[in-house]
Amino acid sequence: MDIHHPLLKPLLEWARGVDHIRAVVVTGSLARADGSADEYSDLDAQLITRDIERLTRDDSWLDSLGEVWIRFPLSRSVSYRLVWFAGGRKVDFQFIHRDDIVAMQESGVLSDEYLRGYQVALDKDGLYAEFPPSPRLFPPPTPPGQTEVAAVINEFWFEAVHVAQFIRRREFWVARYRDWTMKEDLLQLLEWHARATGEGNVNTWLLGKRILQWADAETAEVIERIWPHWDAAEMWRALLAQLELFRRISSELHAAMDINYAEVKYLQIEQYIRQLYAEDKSAR
């Protein structure tokens, strides 16, 4: 196993001495070894256990691995902990019951996470002896349906009116708050668009990671213009650029999905927003 992370060694030393921990599996970019990891990469560690509650009821065991800066969530019985350790090193712990691994082994079907990449760092019971190696593929998400696409588009334009009016009011904090919802909707549409119009299995990663690599060239050129400064003129320019980008992506996505696009009402909303901009003389 060729995984380099400063928290891996103390994690394995601790796990060997804890009876209910039966295995430790590394997933994520460090396990894939595909060149995507760097010095800031998280250690994604699955703790295979017979007793998840013991890990969540009292998570002071984290302190034995190193100096904890902050953990999330705090004192909750959920099957994970996300932890920043001293030095800016992050470990994402996922707690999985041993029986779930046995069930996966018996089914012969790797989970999506294991399909993307996994490496066994500790296996006390030989649970993974019969597991196939990971193909290190990214299973494509299920394509959206017409109703799902319509909901995202509807929310984007709903918030667009808010943003335009709050720019006019010079309520920039609220405008940026509403704009973030627009950005989330835009990202979702960009991911669907890239997978629907790209060649082969396009990996759109998560949270916009590597967006300049998987988005089309025209989108990549526009993206830097949709993030404004704290200034009315800049916010107007960014908003209008974002509307144009979203409208184009919406149209192309509907064409790729071969479904009708009721664009007229959105053009009316954009016209209203552009009218507000035209009336805002001091923002020129």
> What CATH code is carried by the domain that includes residue 151?
1.20.120.330
Q: Based on the domain organization, do 155 and 40 belong to the same domain? A: no
Note the pTM of the prediction, 2 decimals: 0.85
pLDDT confidence of residue 67: 97
Q: So what's the pLDDT on residue 187?
A: 98
- As a whole-number percent, the residues of the chain with pLDDT over 90 amount to 80
Q: Are residues 153 and 274 in the same domain?
A: yes
73-93 pLDDT per residue, tens: 987 889 999 999 999 999 999
What pLDDT does 96 receive?
97
Strand ranges for the chain from DSSP E: 21-27, 43-49, 68-72, 80-85, 89-97, 118-123
What CA–CA distance (Å, rounded) separates 260 from 262?
A: 7
Percentage of the chain modeled with pLDDT above 70: 100
Tokens 């560690």 correspond to 45
* pLDDT value at 1 more than 70: no
The total domain count for the chain is 2
Residue 101 has a pLDDT of: 96
- Give the CATH number, domain containing residue 66: 3.30.460.10
Residue in 131, 126, 140, 13 with CA at minimum distance from that of residue 66:
13
Which pLDDT tens digit goes with each residue over 222-265? 999 999 999 999 999 999 999 999 999 999 999 999 998 988 99
3-state secondary structure of 82: strand
Q: pLDDT averaged over the chain?
A: 94
Q: Are residues 24 and 106 in the same domain?
A: yes
Same domain for 107 and 177, yes or no, is no
pLDDT mean over 59-67 = 95
Domain check: are 178 and 256 in the same one?
A: yes
- Name the burial class of residue 157, with classes exposed (0-12), middle (13-18) and buried (19+) by CB atoms within 10 angstroms of its CB: buried
* Residue 137, domain member (yes or no): no
Whether 157 and 272 share a structural domain: yes
Whether the bond into 132 is cis, omega within 30 of 0: no
Q: How far is CA 8 from the centre of its chain?
A: 24
Strand 68-72 and strand 43-49: pairing? unpaired
Domain span holding position 226: 146-283
Report the alpha-carbon distance of residue 47 to residue 24 in Å, rounded. 5
Specify whether 156 is located in the same domain as 279. Answer: yes
| Pair (72, 14) in one structural domain | yes
Q: What is the pLDDT of residues 179-198, one digit of tens each?
A: 999 999 999 999 999 999 98
Instruction: Compute the average pLDDT of residues 145-174.
Output: 97
**pLDDT tens, position by position, 11-38:** 999 999 999 999 999 999 898 877 788 8
The pLDDT value recorded for residue 95 is 97
Same domain, 75 and 164: no
Whether residue 164 sits in one domain with residue 63: no
125 pLDDT above the threshold of 70: yes
> Is the domain of 111 the same as that of 202?
no
38 is a domain residue: yes
Do residues 264 and 220 make contact, with C-beta atoms less than 8 angstroms apart?
A: no
